[in-house]
Structure 1
Amino acid sequence: MLQSIFDFGQTTSTFWKQCDKALLDEQNELLEHEFLVGSKERLIKKKFLVMSQDSLFRVSLSNLKKAPLLTMHVQFIEASTDNFVQLNSDEQLLGFHLSYQGKSLEIFTADKISYDIWKSHFKRFAILDNFHEAFQVSKMIGKGSFAKVYQATKKETNTQYAIKAFSKAYMQQQAKGIESMLNEIKIMRRLNHPNIVKLYEVHETTNSIYFVLDMIQGGELLQRVRETGFLPAETVQKLAFNLVSALSHMHENRVIHRDLKPENLLLRSTENNYEIILADFGLATNLDEEHLFKRCGTPGFVAPEILEYVEGQEFYTDKCDVFSAGIILYLLITGNTPFIGVDQKSILKNNKECEIDFKEPHFKLAPIQMQDLIQSMLQKKVSYRLSSQECMRHPYFKQLVKEYKVQIEKYQSNLQCYQEIQNARKIGTQDLEQRSPLNFNSSDSISSNISQNRQDQRKTSIVAGASKFSQYSARLSKQNSREISDIPLKQEQKKSKDLHRLALTNSQLKQIAFNQFDNVEDPTAEDCNVGVMVRQYNSTRQIRIPDNTLQIKECNTPTMQKQQ
């Protein structure tokens, strides 16, 4: 079994941990299904499972238990696999092998639609370990202090992605390296916006961690500006709207980026200069959780309140990102950052004092409403500064907001008949920027897609009112779908050939079945010893075949010799 660095060398005594029933009520989106599970007693039981973005829950009539999805590894079990549960089913079963901290669980279902939905969610919210089987890497397209970026093609769909590869050994040597990577994974999985880089999958192998990301073909925004010169006012307006829209989505999810700078703004394509993609969430944090880093960012772009933060005082708000975004817009229309210095120390000093020249000639040439927006974003006093949601409502974006709402209505209408489709093929490069945290104590349309909702899913059917757990348990009680309900004995006559195939998978036994050995009986015959074995094997919930059941002494195949 793969030793995961996300286990931090810890082991758990049980797969499931008891948790508060009210925890379900805190989850926004839940996916539910009843799976078949093999027990220690070699019985097949039903378990009602519920998945959220970061946890897997087991619901029974009396209690609620959970397992962490963030660090859970998942492998997909095909229908052709001869697992104990699969061998003892009249139907073809698909399954998942789940593991974390040394404990594992295998769950199965005959519902192909539900299986595909759960598979899609596991790919997004758990850890996979089949990278080299799933992807064909073509070339390296970027390199930084912590990771390398490769261009790769997913074999199943022929879709190209950017692969961000981390060395496990190197990350383990860094202070809070693994914790920082987990934090980045958790935050990126929470976000889903057309102007934010999307994390599709996370893979772990013996030596590496791989992030499967959007392939961005337009390169860095700043490099494009250097090549084309100053951007037209209309382009800057659309770019600013996309940036503020991305911030608004992040802040609605209680996430702050804390490292907004031109290098972290990429362009989706070469077709225009405003469809930006916000990348690099190495310093991002959730406002509702413990923060790995308190004072971090890039000199010249970081908000003054971060520089002035003192341990123990009230933590700064999401408006810190609005300030950094304002600096980027100021740079785009003037060509310079407002905080200039001969070295990092002087830049930080000017950054902290936050004296900005709004009379700069190029700035005064910008549209009046744009000037007003940027000044409102760059207020040193946080209470005077606009939030990202307030920026969206600024008169500067009035016309764009109308277009935005029209696209949202059209998108939501399309969702009614929406089915999961493959992502469009993207070709290009994605640059990797150094993400080292800086310790300030020591010195023609808007984006083509509106923020996507979750894929068309079978979500929970519970209703408002009572707690989610009580509604789930009531349904279980009504359906008599208890946690330990056994699977009925199979009816042999329904699928005799399939049962034979499942029980006798060895190629030599298949040869026996087709009478290629003259001195062996037809295994499917009613009075054949092998036929008796097959029926006994598949009519019990216990996978144990008595030695005296098998009487084919004439066959000298390795498999049969071993069984004798």
Structure 2
Amino acid sequence: MIQSIFDFGQTTSTFWQQCDKGLLDQQNELLEHEFFVGSKEKLIKKKFLVMSQDSIFRVSLANLKRAPLLTMHVQFIEASSDNFVQHNSDEQFFGFHLSYKGKSLEIFTSDKENYDIWKSHFKRFAILNNFHEAFLVLKIIGKGNFAKVYQATKKENNTQYAIKAFSKEYMLQQSKGIESMLNEIKLMRRLNHPNIVKLYEVHETTNSVYFVLDMIQGGQLLSRVRETGFLSAETMQKFAFNLISALNHMHENRIIHRDLKPENLLLKSIENNNEIILADFGLATNLDDEPLFKRCGTPGFVAPEIIDYIDGQEFYTDKCDVFSAGIILYLLITGNIPFVGTDQKSILKNNKLCEIDFKERHFKLAPIQMQDLIQSMLQKKVSYRLSSQECMRHPYFKQLVKEYKVQTENYQSNLLGYQEFKNAIKIGTQELEQRSPLNFNSSDSISSNISQNRQDQRKSSIVVGTSKFIQYSVKLSKQNSKEITDIPSKQEPKKTRDLHRLALTNSYLKQISNNQFENVEDPTAEDCNVGFMVRQYNSTRQIRIPDNTLKIKECNTPTILKLQ
């Protein structure tokens, strides 16, 4: 078993931890299924499990227990594998080996469709161990301060990916290195937007951690601008809308980026200059969590309130990203950043003063509404500055918002009438950034770009308005009031010593000893077929649901010179 750096050397006494029953009500999307589990007593038991984006829950009539997905390692057990459950059934069983902090659990199902759905979910939200079996690494294509990027082919579909590889030994030497990488994974898994990089998979091996990303085709934003000259008014409008739309999605999820700059904007394709991907969430944080770094960013682009922040004050808001986005738009219009200096200290001083020349010649040539939007984004006083949501409603985007709404409505209408819907979309791209942004608290910071694969999802059968735990408990109560079978025992050829039959027999005898049944047959008798004493339970009816993300073209990114 791999010694995971994400366990931080800790162990747990039990796989499942007791949790509050109301925790289920805080989950947006749930998968539910009944799995078979082999016990220490050589009995085959059923466990009703529910999975969210960050946890697996074990539901019983009396309580609710959970295990974390974020740091859980998953290995897939195919039907041909040698295991106790498979030995005692004619059906094919597929399973998962789950482990974290020194504890492990194996769960099985004969339902291939549900297995594939859970497998897809595990790939997206857990940590995998099979990188070298799944990928063929071709060549190195980039190198940064904390990681190297390789081109690799996924063997099962012959698709090309960019693999960002972190040395575990090196990351352990960095201040908050592992915590920062884990935080980045956690935040990126929560985001799903066509203009934000997406994470496909995370793998951990003995020596490395791998992020599986899309290959980049379009190149860097500033490189493209240098080649083509100033962007047209129409291109700038679409570019600004895509950028602010990505910010709005982040802010709706209570996530702030804190390191917006041209280097972290990637272009999706060679064909256009407005389809961008926002990357590098190494300094991002959730506004509801304690941040790893409180004062961080890149000089010349960081919001003044971040520079001015003092511990103990009220924490700054998501408007800090709006300011940085405004600087990027100003740069694309004028060709210059508003804050200059001979060294990093002087740049930060001017950055803090926030004196911007809105009378600059090229800026005054921009459309009036665009000038107004950028000035509203670059207000030093936070209360005067627009939020990302307010930016989306600015008159500058009036026509684009109409087009966006029509496109979204058409997309949603296509889903009506379907019980099941499969999502499959080829997503964003990313490139390893060569520079690290400045962390005002420490000389160390993590910079990484990620991409996230969209997976099939299924709705649970939960009814809105009632406690989810109560609904699951009612299901289990009804289930337990009926006759329930475990795994159908093999009929032919008969084994001289059928472990499954013995397991059911032992269970049945135990029930007899506890006076749970009256007038029952002797289960050890040859004419008593324990395997047929119950019927199999089908836990829930589930449907797949799509993401609300629109299909987009391939994408790429640029990098700007970081001010030192």
- TM-score w.r.t. length of structure 2: 0.84
> 2:435 corresponds to which letter in structure 1?
Q
Deviations 1:116-144 (A, max 9, x none): 11000000000001011111111211110
Relative distance call for 1:171 and 1:436 in structure 2 (3 A) is farther
CA distance in 1 between counterparts of 2:105 and 2:505 reads 18
The residue aligned with 1:420 is: 422
1:196-235 equivalence runs, <5 A:
196-235=196-235
Distance (Å, rounded) in 2 between the aligned partners of 1:384 and 1:439? 26
How many Å apart are 1:453 and its aligned residue? 12
Q: Distance in 2 between matches of 1:151 and 1:345?
A: 38
Counterpart of 2:457? 457
2: CA distance between counterparts of 1:275 and 1:488?
52
Matches of residues 391-540 of structure 1 in structure 2 within 5 Å? 391-416=391-416, 417=418, 419-420=421-422, 422-424=424-426, 430-439=431-440, 455-480=455-480, 487=486, 490-493=489-492, 496=493, 532-533=495-496, 536-537=498-499, 539-540=501-502
Structure 2 unaligned regions, length at least 5: 444-451, 507-564
Residues of 1 paired with 2:156 and 2:93: CA distance?
21
Q: How many angstroms apart in 2 are the aligned matches of 1:20 and 1:481? A: 26
The amino acid across from 1:58 in the alignment is R
Contact preservation (8 Å) 1:7, 1:71: yes
Deviation at 1:302, TM superposition (A): 0.3
Question: 1:245-394 maps to which residues of 2 (within 5 A)?
Answer: 245-394=245-394
Q: TM-score, normalised by structure 1?
A: 0.84
Larger Rg: 1
Evaluate the alpha carbon distance shift between residue 217 and residue 33 of structure 1 in structure 2; reply closer, same or farther with a 3 A threshold.
same
Work out the CA distance in 1 between the residues paired with 2:427 and 2:3: 34
User: Contact conserved, 2:163 with 2:212, CA < 8 A, in 1?
Assistant: yes
Partner Cα distance (1:162, 1:194) in 2: 18
Task: Give the CA deviation at 1:430.
Answer: 2.3
Contact 1:151–1:429 (Cα < 8 Å) also in 2: no
Q: Distance in 2 between matches of 1:46 and 1:213?
A: 37
- Structure 1 residue 539: Cα displacement: 3.3
Distance in 2 between the 1:389 and 1:425 partners? 24
Alignment of 1:91-106 (within 5 A): 91-106=91-106
Amino acid at match of 1:487: D
**Alpha-carbon distance in 2 for matches of 1:84, 1:297:** 54
Partner of 1:541: 503
Greater relative contact order (Cα 8 A, min sep 6): structure 1 or 2? 2
Q: Is the 8 A contact 2:124 2:455 kept in 1?
A: no
Deviation digits for residues 386-425 of structure 1 (CA, Å, limit 9, x no counterpart): 1111111111011111111111112223345574365449
Q: Are 2:86 and 2:92, in contact at CA under 8 Å, matched by a contact in 1?
A: yes
Secondary structure in structure 2 of the residue aligned to 1:299: coil
Query: Hey, what's the Cα distance between the residues in 2 that align with 1:323 and 1:238?
Result: 18
Q: Which residue of 2 aligns with 1:77?
A: 77
Q: Which residue of 2 aligns with 1:109?
A: 109
Q: Secondary structure at the match of 1:539?
A: helix
Shift of 1:489: 5.7
RMSD: 2.3
Determine if contact 2:199/2:213 at 8 Å carries over to the other structure: yes
Q: Which has the higher helix share?
A: 1
Q: Does structure 1 retain, via aligned residues, the 8 Å contact 2:423–2:456?
A: no
Q: Report the Cα offset of residue 440 of structure 1.
A: 6.0
Displacement after TM superposition at 1:438 (Å)? 2.0
Contact kept, 8 Å, 1:31 with 1:50, in 2: the verdict is: yes
Deviation at 1:372, TM superposition (A): 0.4
C-alpha contact (below 8 Å) 1:163/1:211 kept by paired residues:
yes
The verdict on how the C-alpha distance between 1:233 and 1:543 changes in structure 2, with shifts beyond 3 A counting, is farther
Q: C-alpha deviations, 1:190-240, integer Å up to 9, x for none?
A: 011111111010000011000011222111101111111111111011000
Distance, in Å, in 2 between the alignment partners of 1:398 and 1:176 is 43
Match of 2:29 in 1: 29
Task: Classify 1:322/1:472 alpha carbon distance in 2 versus 1 (closer, same or farther; 3 Å).
Answer: same
Residue 346 (structure 1) shift: 0.6
Q: What is residue 52 of structure 2 aligned with on the other side?
A: 52
Letter in 2 for 1:541: A
Change in Cα spacing, 1:26 to 1:187, as seen in structure 2 (3 Å) is same
Identify the range of structure 1 (459-468 vs 12-21) with the bigger mean alpha-carbon deviation: 459-468
Whichever residue aligns with residue 486 of structure 2, its letter is I
